[in-house]
Structure 1
Amino acid sequence: MTKPTPADAWTQMKSGNERFVDGVPAHPRQDVERRTEIAVAQTPAAALFGCSDSRLAAEIIFDLGLGDLFVVRNAGQVISSSVIGSLEYAVAVLQVPLIVVLRHDECGAVRAAVDSQGPNAPLLPAHIKSLVSEIVPAVRAVGVTAEDGTIDIEHLDVDLVGRTHLRDTVAALLAGSELISEAVAAGTLAIVGADYHLADGRVEADVVLGDVA
């Protein structure tokens, strides 16, 4: 089988998302035969790093099947050493040609990061605070800081915070992994940072590194 190019992988994902948006999913490669076929090995066409939100079920929104996606998720799609290691495994061992970093609107982690920077900020449990702190730079990049160091969260564009955090995440992935950045430079890997719209189910590319045309 010919190895898919980054453009092949992105085209497959876009086509599946269009079917999902139109309400005519094909539910490909989800039968007993497919389960048996991939029991001994996996050859996903792409890796996806996205938010853990229950409304962001990757294989469903891209209308893909078993073994099609190598998926890594955490709340707010926050870069960590385990995320980078997992994606490096997808690139180096599974040889995926595409990484999709997927954010969505109405993200609870982004909302928590915004609220943490306003006056009367809620006290967060330690591990949630640690995760949310990785999104705070996007809040401060977008918001207006008051004299007391807080952000005017009432007039803040929360969706812009989410999009800014998406771009920061893609940049952090490149900066944190020489293996991944070298694969992008060599043209064997592309990265697409994309926005998912909960209401209509549509995925739109926001930032693209590499050739997916």
Structure 2
Amino acid sequence: MAQLMVSGIEAIQRLKDGNKRFVSGVRSIDNMIKQSQREEFVEGQAPFAIILGCADSRVPAEIVFDQGLGDLFVIRVAGNIVAPSQVGSIEFATDTFGTALVVVLGHSQCGAVKAAIEELKNPKGAHSFNLLSIVNRIMPTVEPLFHTELRHQDDKLLDASVHANILASTNQLRHGSARLEQLVQEGKLTIIGAEYSLKTGIVTFIEGL
């Protein structure tokens, strides 16, 4: 089922509206109907937004934004980190579908960010090589916060680290890919950060980056 392409601004509003429905416990009837129309998506898709989100089981993008089949192109990895495979997936989606919005979706109490903080506090190297590949991408973003008063306040340190990690991933996408940077400069792509609250269900968009 083809969709008309939408601008980055319109796509953000759709996500905001969907999250409001999710928080209020009211689902879109149209999106519910889409779940039974999978045959209509066999020949193609036209997602209006790309979501690079954390793999945490409590933060499924399609649900927290109340969207249906074919609406979102979702890439999930612990800590919503940016690595070549994620960049390539996003480049594929922008070039293939013309999707005009990328959202880096982090969340409160992120386990991968916690692991990075613990590794900085007590370097043990106890993680597997593959897990360290994730933690090592987060630590450089978190480490400067240890030179502030936040180092004495665990909860605030974690909150600030989650926020900083989202900003870092957003910045990496904007400047770590020549293709994505070109699309942003041409006004064809918006890349924005957002944070999901496990407690409230609310997604806060980090605008004006």
TM over 0.5: yes
Distance of aligned partners of 1:208 and 1:40 in 2 relative to their CA distance in 1, 3 Å threshold: farther
Q: Using the alignment, how far apart are the partners of 1:34 and 1:170 within structure 2?
A: 33
Q: Equivalent pairs: percent with the same residue? A: 35
Q: CA deviation at 1:94?
A: 1.1
Deviates more, 1:117-126 or 1:79-88: 117-126
Q: Is the 8 A contact 1:101 1:192 kept in 2?
A: yes
Q: Which residue of 2 aligns with 1:89?
A: 92
- For 1:111-126, what aligned pairs fall within 5 Å after superposition? 111-119=114-122, 121=124, 123-126=126-129
Q: CA deviation at 1:182?
A: 1.1
2:136 equivalent to 1:133: yes
Q: CA deviation at 1:2?
A: 4.1
Q: Which residue of 2 aligns with 1:188?
A: 188
Q: CA deviation at 1:176?
A: 1.7
Q: Which residue of 1 aligns with 2:107?
A: 104
Q: CA deviation at 1:96?
A: 0.3
Q: CA deviation at 1:34?
A: 2.6
Q: Which residue of 1 aligns with 2:11?
A: 9
SS in 1 for 2:51: strand
Q: CA deviation at 1:29?
A: 3.1
Q: Which residue of 2 aligns with 1:51?
A: 54
Q: Is the 8 A contact 2:32 2:68 kept in 1?
A: yes
Aligned residues: 204
TM-score by length of 2: 0.90
Q: Which residue of 1 aligns with 2:175?
A: 175
Q: Using the alignment, how far apart are the partners of 1:107 and 1:98 within structure 2?
A: 23
Deviation string for 1:118-140 (max 9, x for gaps)?
13646111111111010001221
Q: Using the alignment, how far apart are the partners of 1:52 and 1:144 within structure 2?
A: 29
TM-score by length of 1: 0.89
**RMSD between aligned alpha carbons?**
2.0
Q: Which residue of 2 aligns with 1:200?
A: 200
Unaligned runs of 5+ in 2: none
Q: Using the alignment, how far apart are the partners of 1:115 and 1:175 within structure 2?
A: 29
2:162 equivalent to 1:155: no
Q: Is the 8 A contact 2:53 2:105 kept in 1?
A: yes
Q: CA deviation at 1:11?
A: 0.9
Deviation string for 1:165-190 (max 9, x for gaps)?
11111111122211111111111111
Unaligned runs of 5+ in 1: 146-151
Q: CA deviation at 1:195?
A: 0.7
Higher helix share: 2
Q: Using the alignment, how far apart are the partners of 1:97 and 1:120 within structure 2?
A: 41
Distance of aligned partners of 1:89 and 1:177 in 2 relative to their CA distance in 1, 3 Å threshold: same
Q: Using the alignment, how far apart are the partners of 2:194 and 2:78 within structure 1?
A: 16
Q: Which residue of 2 aligns with 1:61?
A: 64
